[in-house]
A and B are shown apart, each in its own frame.
Chain A
Amino acid sequence: MAETGRLRQAAVAAPLLSPVTLLRVAIILGVLAVWEFLADSGWLYRDVVPSLLSIGRALAALLSDRNYYFNLGVTAAEIGAALAIGGTTGLAVGLLLGGNRFLSKAFEPYLYYLGPTPKIIFFPVMIMWFGVGPESKVALGTLSCFFPVALNVAAGMRQIDRVLIRVGESFRATTAQMVSKIYLPAMRHPIINGVRLGFGFALIGTLLAETKLSNKGIGFLIIQAYSVFDMPRMYAMLIVLFVLAIGANALIGRLGGLDRIKRT
């Protein structure tokens, strides 16, 4: 009994004190130390590297600012809408291209060429079509999100184990059953991956658009802080954004990891 107890304790304690964890913490502490040293040194022009304390104070001010939450909500809604529109159209187009060789041969090259093009170059067009408000940001985010989702889903559909499809057919599954019980679950990893990438691109597209030309949203606030040279506030917003992006990404990843597959 005592033996197993000790083993269990060791198993719990190990990840906390593993060399990798220690190194990770050391890197963060190192960056913070260098940062603080630079801030104190006075080598750089005024507030380019503000002290950690002033950033902390700005962060506290930010988190108690109702106006900030309003703008955060605007940006979150824009990204959410972009992910919803770009994700569903991407999924639909991906399923179509993955399931039909003729369509895939005809259209997939366009996706491959357009995919890596920086979508921000379409922003002027979006402003003309949708105006300066959130609509043009959603449009750009949607455009950014669509391509990785469509390409991932199309590739994922082609990688489905053929025998699983034959199993479904041998049990005389209907088309709807094939899609809901075989195709979609078999493609859960590429789909989640596509949505994850799509989320990242929607985030980038939306924020980039906001920093270019807008009247609300986090991108707008960041550029505003920059233009009045309120560096602590700007860094505070970057930190919040960073944490939110990591959290959202982890959440999406979690959805895809519900069952673990050891089979390779």
Chain B
Amino acid sequence: MALAQASADAILVADDIFVQFNTPEGPITAVDNVSFKVRPSEFFSVIGPSGCGKSTLFNVIGGLLGQHQGVVSVGGETISGPHKSIGMVFQEESTFPWRTVVDNVAFPLELVGMPKGKRAERARHFIRMVGLDGFENRYPGELSGGMRQRVSLARTLASEPKILLMDEPFAALDEQTRLLLGDKVLQIQQQLKQTTLLITHNITEAVQMSDRILVMTYRPGKVKRIVDIDLPRPRTSEIVSSEAFGRYVAQIWNDLREEANRGMRDEEKHMLNQDERTA
């Protein structure tokens, strides 16, 4: 009852998500009892050390992972499988190499049967938005990694999702490209008032963009804390030099350091065990 009332002002609700994987060494709990709500037009980030189950959570919300407990609902509607209100941007290179930029971006429109001329026009609109005008007829192989990731972003935006769900979209890029692309995402998010859920392990990136940040613990991935980021908007990457920004980064790093340390020790132990077994 309390949940139903609270979800009235939330567009996305994750309630008590629990995921367990079976491995040769027994079951591993990847995500444990994770609950949160995302409000309309909010920029919400999930941050955690590697191995905390962030990407698992991404797949659960995206509807790509069947085997989980708990409920994800969008606008009050419980999801079962990929939902039309959620648009996903993947960490990996995910453009179609056999399609030009405009055909890549028009892909979701093609799936729903939009006529060719109209979808090309829509696609061009989103290509302009990510700043790739002039490259409409290039193939992804002719673009840089950062440009290809912008194509992926434009493709997902073209499906006009209520919620933009991104899994470390800048992870494979160099630092400068990452900062500039972060600016682009911020600008688009503010322009469209796009509800965004970003999964990341990068603290500055999370603080720079988010209204709220959920910090996850190392395995099993639980909610450690949800931090409100009270920085003025509109923001750009220039905010990284402000004092308040530094305080937030320090605070979140404080939370994360413990978890990251635990993760590192756990990995070392795991490797030593493996060595003993093979010796």
Contacts and interface: CB of A to CB of B under 8 A. Distances in A.
Interface of A: 161, 163-164, 166-167, 169-174, 177, 181-182, 185-186, 188, 259-263
B159 interface: yes
A174 B63 CA distance: 15
Given A170-B87, A171-B159, 13 more contacts: A163-B92, A166-B90, A167-B88, A169-B82, A170-B86, A171-B82, A171-B111, A186-B96, A260-B139, A261-B139, A261-B141, A262-B142, A263-B140
Contacts of B97: 259, 261, 263
B139 A173 contact: no
B93 interface: yes
A171 B157 CA distance: 11
B214 to A, nearest CB: 22
A163 B82 contact: no
A167 to B, nearest CB: 5
A171 to B, nearest CB: 5
The secondary structure that dominates the A interface is: helix
B90 A172 contact: no
B94 interface: yes
B64 A169 contact: yes
B139 A171 contact: no
A188 B99 CA distance: 13
A164 B94 contact: yes
21 contacts: A161-B92, A161-B93, A164-B94, A166-B64, A166-B94, A169-B64, A170-B63, A170-B82, A171-B159, A173-B111, A177-B111, A181-B111, A182-B96, A188-B98, A259-B97, A259-B98, A260-B139, A261-B139, A261-B141, A262-B141, A263-B93
Nearest to B110: A181
A172 B139 CA distance: 24
Interface string B57-68: 000001110000
B93 A163 contact: yes
Nearest to A188: B98
A261 B97 CA distance: 7
Contacts of B87: 170
A263 B99 CA distance: 13
